[in-house]
């Protein structure tokens, strides 16, 4: 599958830190509790893919799942992310990737009982995201 943003491994390595590359391009996971983006926001933010800058999530769908990673109950729009089956740990999970560049963001889980409108938890690596103040009224 082709992506709007495509780079060679060398180009990704030149633009991402070693930790960012590991998570975004090798489907790694940051240590739980290590992201400053995990906790509740004090103002509205837009969260973008750190690799390509695509807007993915907003503060309005972020919630504190107390799981060690930033959690959202939906992306900005379904066309912003793509889903892939992940059996890497001997179980079936749903991997979430950026639809613009194919970078690994995290996983989505359903039916965990959180009081959210979608019953979904997008468990996203904070290192995979950039955060900026949201543009209000747009």
The pLDDT of 120-134, averaged and rounded, is: 96
The pLDDT of 82-108, averaged and rounded, is: 94
- Report the half-sphere exposure of 110 (CA within 13 A, side-chain side): 5
Query: Does any domain span residue 35?
Result: no
Tokens of 29: 């996971």
What pLDDT score was predicted for residue 82? 97
Asked about 101 being catalytic, the answer comes back as no
- CATH number, residue 102: 2.170.150.20
Q: What is the total count of domains within the chain? A: 1
Query: Does any domain span residue 26?
Result: no
The pLDDT of 133-138, averaged and rounded, is: 72
**Beta bridge partners of residue 104, listed in sequence order:** 97
What pLDDT score was predicted for residue 89? 76
Domain that holds residue 124: 46-138
The pLDDT of 1-21, averaged and rounded, is: 95
The string over 49-77, giving b where at least 16 C-beta atoms fall within 10 Å of a residue's C-beta and e elsewhere, is bbbbebbbbbbebbbebeebbbbbbbbbe
Average pLDDT of the chain is 94
Is the pLDDT confidence value at 137 over 80? no
Residues whose CB is less than 8 angstroms from the CB of residue 73 and which lie 6 or more positions away in sequence, other chains included: 61, 63, 114, 116, 117, 118, 120, 121, 122
Query: Does any domain span residue 77?
Result: yes
User: Residue 112, SS3?
Assistant: coil
Query: Does any domain span residue 82?
Result: yes
Tokens of 69: 């990673």
What pLDDT score was predicted for residue 39? 86
Query: Does any domain span residue 11?
Result: no
Whole-model pTM? Answer: 0.93
Query: Does any domain span residue 138?
Result: yes
**Contact 47/131 with Cβ under 8 angstroms?**
yes
The pLDDT of 65-79, averaged and rounded, is: 96
How does pLDDT run across 45-64, given as a tens digit for each residue? 999 999 999 999 999 999 99
Query: Does any domain span residue 135?
Result: yes
């Amino acid at each position: 599958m082709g992506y709007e943003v495509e780079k060679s491994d060398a180009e990704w390595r030149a633009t991402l830190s070693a930790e960012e590359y590991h998570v975004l391009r090798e489907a790694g996971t940051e240590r739980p509790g290590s992201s400053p983006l995990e906790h509740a926001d004090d103002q509205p933010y837009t969260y973008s893919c750190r690799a390509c800058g695509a807007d993915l999530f907003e503060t309005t769908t972020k919630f504190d799942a107390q799981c060690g990673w930033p959690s959202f109950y939906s992306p900005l729009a379904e066309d912003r992310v793509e889903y892939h089956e992940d059996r890497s740990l001997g179980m079936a999970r749903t991997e979430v990737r950026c639809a613009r560049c194919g970078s690994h963001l995290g996983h989505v889980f359903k039916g965990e009982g959180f009081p959210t409108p979608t019953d979904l938890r997008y468990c996203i690596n904070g290192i995979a995201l950039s955060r900026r103040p949201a543009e209000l009224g747009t």
